[in-house]
Amino acid sequence: MDGSTFPIARLTLPEAAAERLRALIIEGELAPGAKLNERELCERLGVSRTPLREAFRMLAADGLLVQLPNRGAQVVALSREDVRGAFEVMGALEGLAGELAVARVTDADIADLRALQNQMEVTHAGHDLPAYYRINRLIHDRLNALADNAVLKQTYRTLNARLHALRFRSNLNPAKWDQAVAEHRSMIEALAARDGAALRDLLVGHLRAKQQAVLDSMDNRDDKNLQGGTRP
């Protein structure tokens, strides 16, 4: 995301443990609502309880875990309301990113984004979903970078991680996919026109569509992610 500094990138033990746990949660190995046994996880990760507990604190701060006093930690189970709320906030954040990006974007940035957009349309035409997601994410990241706001970036990333823990490879049907691609093109054009308000509206709308897709998938499928929320 940042890419500028790389001081050998040594990970502390709690950080490494948190990273590993995060992966276990996202890939579903640790299901939403699952109770986390410290001793068991210690063996599994090869660390002692102290760094593991610090990892717990980090993940709890990210909203991936909930810690109950004297009763251990468990993987968060997002309720429908949580998902709704998170997407609403994400929309506001992306909208802000768009407005800020307009103020700082250069012609070179726009050329880059147009190129990415073209690449994305190629993946769309070729029905290459993984590549599409990759470029899609790249574009959104680029926009966030243009906003040049560390607090925004950090907040956005945390929220994003929380939602990704749901593993919604949202059922992207052809019609929605077409629409998403078209919306993306409009965004780039709004950015090129330096129309902050329009870009903001597009981004908010884009997020609202994504939200609807995820909420629908939570309703329709008997998805194991929907567990009645953090407080059943």
Partner DNA sequence: CCTTGGCATATTGTATACAAAATGCAAGAG
Partner DNA sequence: CTCTTGCATTTTGTATACAATATGCCAAGG
- For residues 87 and 214, the answer to whether their CB atoms sit within 8 Å is yes
Q: Which is nearer to DNA, 68 or 150 (CB)?
A: 68
Q: What is the largest CA-CA distance in the chain?
A: 57
When asked if residue 157 is in the footprint of a copy of itself (CB under 8 A), the reply is no
Phi-psi region of 135 (alpha: psi -120 to 50; beta: other; left: phi over 0): alpha
Q: Are 59 and 21 in contact (CB under 8 A)?
A: yes
Cβ distance to DNA smaller for residue 36 or 163: 36
For position 130 contacting a copy of itself by CB under 8 A, the verdict is no
Nearer to DNA, 41 or 207 (CB): 41
Q: Region of 226 please: left (phi>0), alpha (psi -120 to 50) or beta.
A: beta
Q: Look at residue 36 and give the partner it binds from a copy of itself, DNA, none, a contact being a CB closer than 5 to 8 Å depending on partner kind.
A: DNA
CA distance 106 to 103: 9
Q: By CB under 8 A, name the one of 16, 152, 161, 209 that touches a copy of itself.
A: 152
Give the one residue of 28, 33, 72, 85 binding DNA; rule: CB under 7 A: 72
Q: From 76, 53, 52, select the one nearest 65 (Cα to Cα).
A: 76
Site residues (CB under 8 A) for a copy of itself, limited to 81-100: 81-82, 84-86, 88-89, 91-93, 95-96, 100
Interface residue with DNA among 27, 37, 126, 128 (CB under 7 A) is 37
* DSSP structure class, residue 228: S
Taking the least distance from each CB to DNA, the nearer of 11 and 197 is 11
Report the length, in residues, of the chain: 232
Q: Which residue number, 75 or 146, has a Cβ lying nearer to DNA? A: 75
Which helix H or strand E contains 35, and what residues bound it? strand 35-36
- Residue 170, SS3 per DSSP: coil
Sheet strand arrangement including 35-36: 35-36, 72-75, 65-68
Least distance to a copy of itself from the beta carbon of 11, Å?
A: 9
Nearer to DNA, 36 or 199 (CB): 36
Q: Does 231 bind DNA (CB under 7 A)?
A: no
Examine residue 72 and tell whether it contacts a copy of itself (CB under 8 A): no
Residues that bind DNA (CB under 7 A): 12-14, 35-39, 47-51, 53-54, 67, 69-73
